[in-house]
Structure 1
């Protein structure tokens, strides 16, 4: 990768890591489900009028919209509102790579190798250490459990995204963002109450508006757009590892801006989880013959790489 592309990948990871701090601030202004609904509403409008028609079947857009938008983000925002710290949430959410590998095996028949299984075990050990640290600190185990449930739902959406194989990541993400808006609003009215929602909207200030803009346009539109752009000239195996920087930026920004302490036990959990996800993301390299064929201009087979944190699907190269 060129230095400019490496810098862009690192910038996207930083944007996604700081996003957890921004979510924490936003939860002081909005109920979690309403906040999530507003995030997707602003991400979809007006972008949906500029990205063109959907390039995949509606069943995949609706499926990913429900799994990612309603379930994953609804659980994530609710878990953080119940006390799950921003830095820890950015870390624990990365266990989605383990769930992705598990669901890919069950639904797609992608059998994990020994290294991937080892990585999954190490990552789960990291989750266990994080749970012990969370319990010892007296924080909300319910919120912690909801973050894990959010990671599970993210794994489901990753497999659905792989099945959809969208050729344009930004187009796909914008159309997916339309789906969760009404279900999340309905759930907010039902569970959080119209009075609470109206108070939040009436008290909207510049900070609340800025939070919505960040999570919608910076994190979603710019983040996924840049990530998808990077996946066009580079293989997913080169881009995906940068997502491991997300919890690094998440935990450091939470400590810097929110004053969250990072205990030695949490650093241990971070090392286990990030290391495990890295191992679980390992994909065997191409055979030398395939490399020679590609260099000679012969058609290449697309290499499937597990989707890791915030990773868009790999884009197959065009046949020569």
Structure 2
């Protein structure tokens, strides 16, 4: 299996599993406070990982490429959309939507991520991926209908879909910086988003919960928001935004299964119909294959890499031969054909 798919699926499992845990914490602190603690747990945990990695790395070539000032606008937009507004909407939605239904509704993140990637950022897609997304959209509509109150609009479901839109924007903006250090990206996002959300919660008069609850929320945030985002950034680097969003659609199934086991929820028939539709959509994504002759234009950038058919270059520094290694390098023009994804080297027109 392609390494990018593994990264995306692991990210999906970690994030999906965090939803039922977050549901159990919703009643113990307001949405803004909970979002802040989750992201701070993510940021602090990854900051520790970052420090440990710096101690064990041997030289500069072993260190991933850091963010640059050119990345700041994209990264700031990603933090605002996905780190501040998105979590607030999710926690608000969880106050009135069951954890299992919320878990499946989160599949809309993959759909909205892909729609933005295709129609705004002009990433390639084919009929198979599009049909899969239609199935997931149909499932999301069913879940929203199932959560509708007797009168009025299903505000909880709509809030969760709004959170998915924010994360779709976040994912597309994060793809712009995905060649950089994923630990730095995810850790910085966690610290900034966590601080902002926590300040909002405290400004609204929320009190901090007991220490055991804080620690539990921090661990959930580290796994479901921190490690998951690190893996997601790595998947973006290898698969592109739309495909990563498609594979990440497995997240809600992990969350829904855990919700049924942990919380004893009994879903209605529409839940199972929606689950079947989403399963069919994800299967279409997982079985996609894309291969054709394509041309690589000259390009210079920096990221961690090994010397494969796309990386044939000389070094102007002493290299110890260890791979992967990171440095600025140039790609000469190249024309060939092979199965590929729209990764950082295959963002060409069709």
TM-score, length-normalised on structure 2?
A: 0.70
For residues 225 and 183 of structure 1, the distance between their equivalents in structure 2, rounded to whole angstroms, comes to 21
Q: Report 1:39-118 matches (<5 A).
A: 39-45=38-44, 47-48=46-47, 50=50, 54-56=66-68, 57-81=71-95, 83-110=96-123, 112-118=125-131
- Structure with the larger strand share: 2
Aligned to 1:287, the other structure's residue is in SS state strand
Q: For the pair shown, which has the larger CA radius of gyration, 1 or 2?
A: 2
Task: Identify if the C-alpha distance between structure 1 residues 159 and 222 changes in structure 2 by more than 3 Å, giving closer, same or farther.
Answer: closer
1:40-66 per-residue CA deviation (whole Å, 9 max, x = no partner) reads 223223643736794242222211111
Q: Higher mean Cα deviation, 148-157 or 34-43?
A: 34-43
Where does residue 136 of structure 2 map in the other structure? 123
Q: Offset of 1:87 from its aligned partner?
A: 1.4
Are the aligned partners of 1:244 and 1:278 in contact in 2 as well (CA < 8 Å)? no
Where does residue 210 of structure 2 map in the other structure? 204
For residues 85 and 311 of structure 2, the distance between their equivalents in structure 1, rounded to whole angstroms, comes to 43
1:130-154 per-residue CA deviation (whole Å, 9 max, x = no partner) reads 1222237999821111011111111
For residues 153 and 99 of structure 2, the distance between their equivalents in structure 1, rounded to whole angstroms, comes to 12
Are the aligned partners of 2:8 and 2:235 in contact in 1 as well (CA < 8 Å)? yes
Aligned to 1:214, the other structure's residue is in SS state helix
Where does residue 25 of structure 1 map in the other structure? 24
1:228-277 per-residue CA deviation (whole Å, 9 max, x = no partner) reads 56788x76799876534322221111111111112221111122234335
For residues 18 and 139 of structure 1, the distance between their equivalents in structure 2, rounded to whole angstroms, comes to 31
Where does residue 174 of structure 1 map in the other structure? 187
For residues 281 and 97 of structure 1, the distance between their equivalents in structure 2, rounded to whole angstroms, comes to 13
Task: Identify if the C-alpha distance between structure 1 residues 241 and 116 changes in structure 2 by more than 3 Å, giving closer, same or farther.
Answer: closer
Are the aligned partners of 2:46 and 2:186 in contact in 1 as well (CA < 8 Å)? no
Task: Identify if the C-alpha distance between structure 1 residues 297 and 244 changes in structure 2 by more than 3 Å, giving closer, same or farther.
Answer: same
- Structure with the larger helix share: 1
Is 2:221 the counterpart of 1:222? no
Structure 2, gaps ≥5 residues long: 55-64, 296-307, 313-330
1:207-248 per-residue CA deviation (whole Å, 9 max, x = no partner) reads x1342222222223333345556788x767998765343222
TM-score, length-normalised on structure 1?
A: 0.76
Task: Identify if the C-alpha distance between structure 1 residues 283 and 173 changes in structure 2 by more than 3 Å, giving closer, same or farther.
Answer: farther
Q: Report 1:125-144 matches (<5 A).
A: 125-135=138-148, 141-144=154-157
Q: Cα RMSD (Å) of the superposition?
A: 3.8
Aligned to 2:183, the other structure's residue is in SS state helix
What number of residue pairs does the alignment pair up?
A: 295
Task: Identify if the C-alpha distance between structure 1 residues 145 and 60 changes in structure 2 by more than 3 Å, giving closer, same or farther.
Answer: same
Q: Offset of 1:10 from its aligned partner?
A: 6.0
Aligned to 2:107, the other structure's residue is in SS state helix
For residues 164 and 74 of structure 2, the distance between their equivalents in structure 1, rounded to whole angstroms, comes to 19
1:172-216 per-residue CA deviation (whole Å, 9 max, x = no partner) reads 1111223323432343245xx21xx22xx1x4142x134222222
Where does residue 162 of structure 2 map in the other structure? 149
Q: Offset of 1:19 from its aligned partner?
A: 0.8
Are the aligned partners of 2:16 and 2:224 in contact in 1 as well (CA < 8 Å)? no
Is 2:276 the counterpart of 1:271? yes
Are the aligned partners of 1:60 and 1:164 in contact in 2 as well (CA < 8 Å)? yes
